[in-house]
Amino acid sequence: MRRIVTAASGAVAVAAVLALGIAVAGLASGGSLGGIGGTTSEETTEKPKTTKFRAVATVGAEVPKPTGVKVGARGTFDLTKTESSGSFSIAWTLAFKNLTGKAAAAHIHRGKVGKAGPVLVSLCGPCRSGQKGKAKISKSVASAIKAGTTYVNVHTARNAAGEIRGQIKKR
């Protein structure tokens, strides 16, 4: 009789360990302990949210005013901001023409119209017209872009502080 009881209690112990293993596996895969075998909750995957922005860069918008500029110096900057699971990134295209020389660098700066501000994102250096790029950005930079308090500018050797500039605005 003792052997039967021991064998029975051993089988119960194995069943309990198996049930516990199933419950733990269910929790690890996002399920619940609603019962043995539990029900699994549906996984939701957040789709990335994209927002498009554009800047038209001109000589007249640059602060301080550039010197020796050519007629028709201008550019465009297209930016797509992506938010996914609390992280932010940008993809951009920069085009320009009629600068006083090669584009030494381009940046996204914090600043309102008519005010110079600090660099937030270095885009390229040296730069070529039609250049594309990607970058990860912080939440605060993403917020500044959304708020319209950022601008892009292109620097040349002759105008090291910037030759053309444009506020980044939502399309």
**Same domain flag for 80 and 16:** no
The domain tally of the chain equals: 2
Q: Are 29 and 112 found together in one domain?
A: no
Same domain for 94 and 15: no
Each residue's pLDDT, cut to its tens digit, for the chain (171 residues) gives 444 444 444 444 434 333 434 333 343 334 443 444 444 445 556 789 999 999 999 999 999 999 999 999 999 999 999 999 999 999 999 999 999 999 999 999 999 999 999 999 999 999 999 999 999 999 999 999 999 999 999 999 999 999 999 999 999
The HSE-up count of residue 82 (CA atoms within 13 Å, CB side) is 12
pTM of the shown model: 0.73
Structural domain range at position 156: 49-170
Do 68 and 118 belong to one domain? yes
Does residue 105 share a domain with residue 63? yes
For every residue of 143-160, DSSP letters joined together read: HHHHHT-EEEEEEESTTT
Q: For position 45, what pLDDT does the model report?
A: 67
CA distances from 89 to 5, 26, 62, 79, 168 (A): 65, 34, 26, 10, 15
CB-based contact 90:98 (threshold 8 Å): no
Residues 40 and 79 both lie in one domain: no
Residue 84 and residue 31 share a domain: no
Q: Which of 125, 145, 129 has the alpha carbon at shortest distance from 79?
A: 145
128-166: per-residue pLDDT in tens?
A: 999 999 999 999 999 999 999 999 999 999 999 999 999
**Residue 22 and residue 90 in one domain:** no
> Do 29 and 57 belong together in one domain?
no
Q: At a CB cut-off of 8 Å and minimum separation 6, what does 143 contact?
A: none
What's the token pair of residue 151? 């601008």
* Phi, psi dihedral angles at 155 (to 5 degrees): -105, 145
